[in-house]
Structure 1
Amino acid sequence: MKVDVVIRKNTYYDSVTLMLVTKEVKKINGVIEVLVGMGTELNKELAKGLKLATKETEALTANDFFISVLAEKDSIIEEVVKKVDILLTQKKSESSSEYRPSTIESALKYVPDLNLAVISVPGKYAANEAEKALMNDLHVMLFSDNVSIEEERSLKELAREKGLLMMGPDCGTAIINNVPLAFANVVSKGNIGIVGASGTGTQEVCVIIDKLGMGVSQVIGTGGRDLKSEIGGIMMIQGMKALIEDPKTKVIVLISKPPTPEVTGKVLKLVHTSNKPVVVNFIGGDPKIIKESGAYPCFTLEDAAYKAVALAKGEDVKDFEGFSISEEVNKIVEEEVSKLDPEQKYLRGLYTGGTLADEAMNMLSKQIDGIYSNIPLDPRYKLKDINNSIKHTCLDLGDDEFTVGRPHPMIDPSTRVDRIVKEAEDDVAVILMDFVLGYGSHEDPVGEMLNSIKEAKKKMASKGKYLSVIASICGTDKDPQDLGNSKKRLEEIGVIVMPSNAQAVRLVYKILEKVNS
C-alpha cells in the first residue's frame, strides 16, 4: 500500500463539489482512503489525519487542486483520476446552461438591472466580494462563512447606510419575490413575511404555512450571528423595516434563538411601532417580554406558523401545543411502548437541521433532566466525545464538529447513515430524526437513509429488542424530492412520520414517559 498524489496547479473547483466527488470515488474497489480537494490549510490538515499527506501535498497552495489516494495496488490511481474527471465534467455540464460571470463587474455588464447578488466563495474572499456588490447597490445574500464578526458588522453597517439587505454571512435560506435561494422549499406565494436568523427553522415555518393553505411574501435570512451583541440585530431590523413597507406583506414572523437582552430590546422596540401584526419565535426565549411589545410569542416553530396563518386569515389567534392527528397518538404510543424491552429507555436525536435539534431539546428539557449534545442547552451536558452518545443525546450533525472536510448532512447524509446503526448498539428506545427537502438539499434524503434505518432495526431485533424511529419531514408536495413519496417510503419500513418537528418531539416524550414510568 502507498499514497499516490496527482496535482493540478491553479485549478479551482468549489469545495462542496469536491466533497461529493470524494464520496463517489471512495466507492472504487481497492481504494482504502481518498481525498479530492483544493490545497487549503484545512484540507492539508485533513490529509494528514487520513494518512494521505506527502511532501507534494504539504507544498500546495489554496489555488492548487489535488487527488491523494491510499490504495491496495499502485495502478488504482489511474482509475481514480479518470473517475474524478468524469464526475467533474458531469457537474460542470449540469451547471453550464446559464452564463456564469467570473466577477460582479462582468455580471453587471451582462445584466445591468441586477439588484441582488448571491455570493458563495472561500471565506477569505467573501467579505471583499460582498462589499463590491454593496458598493454597486446590490442586495447581498452571503452564503459563505468564515467571515470575521468585525467584517460582518462593517458590511451590515454599509448595507444599512445604502438601504440594502446584507443577508449573511452563513445565510442558508431566503425566498425573494417567490424565488428560493440556497436551502429553501417550494412554497406558495402569499402575504406572510419572514425574517429568520435560522435556516431550517425558517424552512419549517415556511412549509407549515404552505400546508395550512397560505403562503409567503418574502423570506429574508440574516445569518446566525446577526442577533449577537457585536452585530446588534442590524439585519433583522432592516428586514423588518422592509416587510413593514412591503405592500404584499400583511403579517411578519421573526425567528431566532434568544438574542442578548440589549438586542432583544432593539428588535422589540421596532415591533412595538409596527402597523402590522408580528409573530415572534425566539426559541427558548421569554414569552412575557415579547407579549409586552405587542407581538405574539410562540412555543414552537409550528405554533409560529399557525399564529401567522390565523392573523393572515383574520381569525382568532390560539396557541397550538398539541397534535393535528390527536385521535391516533395514544394508539401509536401504546403500540410502540408494547414492543420495547424494559432496558430500553433512552432517546437519540439525529438531526441535520440545527434549529430543529435546538427546538427538540428546548421542548424535551421541560420534562427530561439532562440531554447530552454537541450543542447543549446546559454546558454540563456537552458531549466530550461527539462520536459516542450518552444516555439521552440529541445531535446537530450539521455543526462544524461534524462537517470538517465533508458537506453538510442536508447535502450528503452519509454521517447520519453511519451513525444510526451505531446508536442501535445501546439501550436506545427511540431515534428522532428530521428530513429536510427542497432546493439545496440532497436529491433523495429519505432514500439515502432507508437501508441504514432497516439495518438499525434489524440489529435491535437480533438482540430481541425493538427500535422505535420517529421522524418529521420539512417539505412540501411541490419540492423536487416529493413529500408524499418520501413519507410513504419511511412508513413502509416502520418509521412513524409526524406532521412537524414539534409533534414528533411531543410523541417521543409520550413514549419515553410511559417507558420510564
Structure 2
Amino acid sequence: MLHTIIKENSYQDSVNLMLLTNRLSAMEGVNKISVMMGTPANLDIFKNTGLYTIELEEAKPNDMCIVVHADSEETVGRVLDELDSFLKNQAVSSSAKEFETVRTWDRAMKTLSGANVAIISVPGQYAAEEAEKALNNGLHAFLFSDNVSIEDELRLKKLAHEKGLLVMGPDCGTGIASGIPLAFANVVTEGNIGIVGASGTGIQEVTTIIDRLGGGVSHAIGTGGRDLSNSIGAITMMDSIRALENHSGTKVITIISKQPAKEVRNQVVELLRSVSKPVVALFMEEKPAEQEGHVIYAGTLEETAVLSVQLANGNELTGLISENSTSLPAVELKAKQTAIKGLFSGGTLAAEAAMFISEALGLRGLIHEEGYLLKVNGHEVIDLGDDKYTQGKPHPMIDPETRIQFIQEAAKDEGTAIILLDVVLGYGSHDDMAGALLPAIVAAQDEAAASGRNLYFVATVCGTEKDPQDYQEQKTKLESAGVIVRESNVQAIKTTLKLLNIEVPGTKRAFHPVGALENKESLLVSEQISKLVNEKPAIVNVGLKKFTQAVTNHGGQVVQFDWRPTAGGNERMRKILALLK
C-alpha cells in the first residue's frame, strides 16, 4: 500500500534527499520509498517509478514529498520518526557551522565583501540564472550543476569573458584553487603544476598521481565537458591557459580534455605554442601527436601526471611510472569466461578504459550503446555517473547501490572473467566506498564459486594520503577480498588485459629535452582572473552545504547561500520576476 507524506516548505537539496531515501529504504518493512521535492520534474519521476499518488497533486516545489510502499501503518510511523530525526540533525549541523548562512545575493556580498567565486549546485533549470547573478556581482562562477543548455552555457561564458571572469562548467565536478579543494576534489600538495581540464575525474586522476609522485598542484581549473565543442569554442580553457601563463607560481601547464572538436583543438594548441612555459597536453580518444618543442602530448592520464612532474622537477622525460606491482596472480577461468566488465564511477576513467580495451581488441574507437562506452563480444565498460543511471539517485561516487546491482548482474553472467572498478576518494565522495562495495564483491565471488567458476576483480583507488578517507585502508580492504589493486587507472586496465592474455597496446614513446624557453610577450588577463590565481578564493556557496567543508577545512572563506527556488518554484512567475529585474 502506498502512503504519502508532504512536509510543506521543507526544502532540502537533492543530494541530502537521495541519501535520506537510501537510509529509509533500508528500514525493515519498507518495500519501496522515494523522497523528493515537489517540482514538476520530480512528480514525473514519481509517476515513472510507480509511486505517484493523488495527494501529490497538492504538492508545491518547496514541499518535501515522501511516498512509501509499506504493508503496515507501524512502518510508516517509524519512517516518520526517522525523517524527523534527519531534519533535526540537519538543523543541529547547520547551527554548528563555521560559516554564515544568507538567503539573498545582496546579503551574501555584504557578508563576504571580498568574495570572488560562486560555487553553484542548484537544480539545472535554475543554474544559469544563478550563474548570471554571480557574474553580475563580479564573481567567477563554478557551475557544478548539470542540465544547463548549450545556449545558456555559451551566453554565460561570453558574458564572463567580457567581464574578465571565468565560468567553470556547467557540470564541473572538481577544482583546486590555491590549495582549496572545490566540490568533488582530492587533497593534494600545493606546487608548481597548473591544470586546466574539460574532465572531472580526469583532473582527479592526474592530480592524485602528481601528489603520490611527490609533485604539487598550483591550480586545477575545470571547464566543463562541452567547453572544447564547436558550440563553445574553448572560451574557459583559453582564458584559463592565459591565467596560468601569468601566474608566477605555475611552472608547468597541463591540459586535459575529452575528445575536442578539431578546429577548437587547433585553436587551443596554437595558444599553447605561444606560452612561455612547458606544456603537457592530453586529448582523449586520439593518439598523442609528436612533441612540438615545449608542447608535449601525453597518451594516458597517468602519463600526463608523470610528464608534468618530470618537467616540474627538471628531470629527463620518459613518461614512464615505476610499475613496482606488476606481478600477476595465476588465474583459472572457464572457456566461456572471456569478458571484462568495467563498472566505473568516473566518466573519464571509464572512457580511458573503453579506449584502451577497444585498441587492444583491434576495434576502431569506442562502441557506444545507450548507457555504455563499450559493449562488444561480452565486454562492457559503463560510466555509472551517466544521466541514464543517476536520475533520482545519488552519483555513484556518493552511493554504491547502482554499482552493487551491476556487480550482481555481472557475477551471474557465465562469460564474466574480470570486473574492473575505480574507487574515487576525496571531498564529496563516500566515506568508505571500499567497505561499502566489499560485501557485494565477496558475494559475487561466492556466487561464481558455487557454480564452479572463479571471478576476479581489478581496481584502482583514485586518491591521496591526505584525503578525508583513509587511502591505505581503502586499498587494504579491497586487497583483503582478493581484489588486485593498481596505482593508476591505466595500470589496472593493463593488468586486466594481461590476465586474459590480451596484448597490451604499446605506450612507450621518445621525448626530447624542452630546454630554455624564451620570455615571450605576456598573454594579458583581467585583474579579476589575476586575483583568482594569486590569492586564496573567497566563496559564495549556492546550493549543496557539503561543499563548504573542504573550503573551511583548508583555511578558505565561505558564506553559505541557503538557496530556495524563486517564486516557490512556480516557473511562470519565476520568469516574470526575472524579466522585471
TM-score range, shorter chain: over 0.9
The question of whether the paired residues in 2 share the 8 Å contact of 1:167 and 1:221 is answered with: yes
Tell me the SS of whatever aligns to 1:243: helix
1:367 is matched with 360
Tell me the SS of whatever aligns to 1:185: coil
The question of whether the paired residues in 2 share the 8 Å contact of 1:33 and 1:50 is answered with: no
1:476 is matched with 464
2:30 is the alignment partner of 1:31? yes
**Which structure carries more relative contact order (alpha carbon 8 Å, separation 6+)?**
2
Structure 1 residues 115 and 453, CA gap change in structure 2 (3 angstroms): same
Alignment of 1:158-177 (within 5 A): 158-177=159-178
Separation in 1, partners of 2:142, 2:114 = 17
1:71 is matched with 70
Separation in 1, partners of 2:121, 2:270 = 33
Tell me the SS of whatever aligns to 1:441: coil
Alignment of 1:27-426 (within 5 A): 27-96=26-95, 97=97, 98-288=99-289, 291-292=291-292, 294-320=294-320, 324-325=323-324, 328-329=325-326, 331-332=327-328, 335-337=329-331, 339-369=332-362, 377-379=366-368, 382=369, 391-426=378-413
Separation in 1, partners of 2:323, 2:260 = 31
Q: Which runs of 5+ in 2 are unaligned?
A: 505-581
Separation in 1, partners of 2:435, 2:124 = 32
Q: Which runs of 5+ in 1 are unaligned?
A: none
The question of whether the paired residues in 1 share the 8 Å contact of 2:6 and 2:64 is answered with: yes
The question of whether the paired residues in 2 share the 8 Å contact of 1:32 and 1:71 is answered with: yes
Letter aligned with residue 36 of structure 1: V
2:554 is matched with none
Structure 1 residues 413 and 384, CA gap change in structure 2 (3 angstroms): closer
Question: When the two structures are aligned, how many residues end up with a matched partner?
Answer: 500
TM-score by length of 2: 0.83
Separation in 2, partners of 1:449, 1:378 = 28
Separation in 2, partners of 1:478, 1:94 = 24
1:499 is matched with 487
The question of whether the paired residues in 1 share the 8 Å contact of 2:360 and 2:503 is answered with: no
Structure 1 residues 243 and 384, CA gap change in structure 2 (3 angstroms): closer
The question of whether the paired residues in 2 share the 8 Å contact of 1:307 and 1:318 is answered with: yes
Structure 1 residues 254 and 384, CA gap change in structure 2 (3 angstroms): closer
1:458 is matched with 446
Separation in 2, partners of 1:390, 1:39 = 43
The question of whether the paired residues in 2 share the 8 Å contact of 1:114 and 1:138 is answered with: yes
Separation in 2, partners of 1:450, 1:433 = 12
Structure 1 residues 65 and 130, CA gap change in structure 2 (3 angstroms): same
Separation in 2, partners of 1:280, 1:501 = 18
Shift of 1:64: 2.1
Shift of 1:148: 1.2
Letter aligned with residue 437 of structure 1: L
Structure 1 residues 267 and 120, CA gap change in structure 2 (3 angstroms): same
Separation in 2, partners of 1:405, 1:300 = 33
Separation in 1, partners of 2:484, 2:5 = 47
Letter aligned with residue 106 of structure 1: R
Structure 1 residues 323 and 507, CA gap change in structure 2 (3 angstroms): farther
Letter aligned with residue 271 of structure 2: L
Separation in 2, partners of 1:29, 1:462 = 29
Separation in 1, partners of 2:343, 2:306 = 26
Tell me the SS of whatever aligns to 2:330: helix
2:423 is matched with 435
| Identity across the alignment (%) | 46
Alpha-carbon RMSD across the aligned residues, in angstroms, is: 2.0
Separation in 2, partners of 1:118, 1:167 = 9
Q: Select between 133-142 and 181-190 the one with higher mean Cα deviation.
A: 133-142
Tell me the SS of whatever aligns to 1:80: helix
Letter aligned with residue 72 of structure 2: K
Shift of 1:385: 9.1
1:202-239 deviation digits (Å, cap 9, x = unpaired)? 00000000011010001101111111111111001111
